[in-house]
Chains A and B, each alone.
Chain A
Amino acid sequence: MNYWLLLVLYLLPLARPDAASKYSTRTGMISFFSSTFIEDIEAHNNQVGALLDLTSGQVAFSVTMKAFQFKRTLMQEHFNENYIESDKFPRSTFAGKLLNFQPTQLNQPGPQEVQVEGDLTIHGVKRHIKVPGTLELKGNQLLAKSKFIVAPADYNIEIPALVRENIAKTVEVTVSLACDPAPQQP
């Protein structure tokens, strides 16, 4: 009898994080910012799909490139037509893993620093990257944030000589997701 009680007590804390180990969203936010002496280029996208599995530490993102909104219509057209070639490469993806991560970390209040490592695919070019971020459990939601640098040249994004001065060599990417517990697998 006592053994049973002990067993139940022992399993109870384990059961809690298990309640929702997978989180997902379809409306995550990604924005990027390029700043040069001549002009600032900024775009944001709120059609980011993401799936995080806390038990295995796996993370996946999918970004619809045409959903990036620019302040200038023409910039948006150039981004899709000339640089990213959205017709050919409609999505950018990331598939990776949280490094040295324990789901129990999230029982502490506030954002928890994490490292993510994996493959980022933009413009059809896959590169292995390692970026910092934070995870926070707030109520029912998992908030994931990250800020990192991407160099267009690394992804074979050609910038013609004429506008090379207008576009920065590196672009700052900001990811901000509010994920809901994913529905259990059928």
Chain B
Amino acid sequence: MKYLFSSFGAYGLAVALLLMCSSKARAQDDLLQKLEAQTTDSLHTDYTQATFKGTRVINGHSVETPGQGTLLFLISHRFGTLNSGAYNFFGLDEATIRLGLEYGLTDKLTVGVGRSSLEKTFDGFGKYRLLRQSTGLHTMPVSVTVFASAALNSLKFTGPEHPTDTRFTYTYQALIARKFSTNLSLQLMPTLVHRNLVDTRAEQNDVYALGFAGRQKLTKRVALTMEYYYLLPGHTADEFRNSLSAGFDIETGGHVFQLHFTNSRGMIEKFFIPQTTGKWQKGDIYFGFNISRAFTLKPKA
């Protein structure tokens, strides 16, 4: 019995010594652990950033807005179709362009204007971030941005003159996105395009569509993107194609380059949603790019 105690005592001493040594080494980390326990993530709301790289996925808008005081200059460009042959340099001879400016009035509210060479169209839009995906104190599974735009066709009438309001097309969209991981973001876009004037009686003034978009980051600065707008059944869906686009986002400092292939020629909603004619399987594919450059006009205090 005595022997047992003494041996236990010796072991105990050794253990105690070991504990003392290790506790000294660990004390700093213990303090850090105590601190981590005190400053848990539940105290702050952690908003998800950069669900998409740019304010556009490809043709359509993403949930992103430029942020307060930031002016974006956008150049969007589409060449002709790839199947137009060597004579047309596989589409490179042709060009459709849109120049745009958009400005973040606040972190949530953005206004923008643009001019497309297609049908000499002017467009203006407003975009508001309704909800932001977040964790922590406030948890929100998705980001929601609402979008409304008006587009004005300024081509001269070939026939009799119509009142000005016949030139307008309006688009209303809800952009619902979730960043599932650092690399994967998906977006859903229920859309309504209202055209004040259509060519024939059979055509729809109101065209409903459901858009899907995704981004998969390949490296820190390169991402694969894809976008699809499904036209809800109706005359427009019968006569026109669904818009399908795929491309790459490449980011360098204040620029975002987006290179893509799409069956849509126009770069605003009124064109690519109800007026896409290209068929991918026939090679009616437009190669194009978007370049956006950010200027900080008003730095945050």
Contacts and interface: CB of A to CB of B under 8 A. Distances in A.
Interface of A: 24, 26, 47, 49-51, 53, 56, 58-62, 64, 66-67, 69-74, 76-78, 80-82, 85, 87-88, 90-91, 93, 95-97, 118-119, 160, 162-163, 166
Contacts of B39: 26, 49, 62, 64
Interface string B54-66: 0000000000001
Nearest to A87: B182
13 contacts: A56-B27, A60-B31, A60-B35, A62-B35, A67-B44, A73-B104, A73-B296, A74-B254, A85-B182, A88-B182, A90-B41, A93-B36, A163-B252
* Of A59, A60, A67, A91, most B-chain CB atoms within 10 Å: A60
B210 interface: no
Given A74-B67, A81-B49, A81-B50, A47 B44 contact: yes
* Chain A to chain B: the 4 pairs with minimum beta-carbon distance, closest first: A73-B67, A49-B39, A71-B299, A60-B32
Contacts of B67: 73-74
Contacts of A50: 35
B277 interface: no
Given A26-B43, A73-B66, A73-B68, A51 B182 contact: no
A166 B38 contact: no
A24 B35 contact: yes
Nearest to A69: B300
A73 B31 CA distance: 34
A95 B31 contact: yes
B162 interface: no
A162 B35 contact: no
Given A62-B39, A81-B50, A162-B252, A95 B28 contact: yes
Contacts of B201: none
A48 B66 CA distance: 28
B235 interface: no
Nearest to B183: A87
Interface in B6-51: 27-29, 31-32, 34-36, 38-39, 41, 43-44, 46-47, 49-50
Nearest to B47: A66
Given A70-B300, A71-B299, A163 B50 contact: no
A95 B294 contact: no
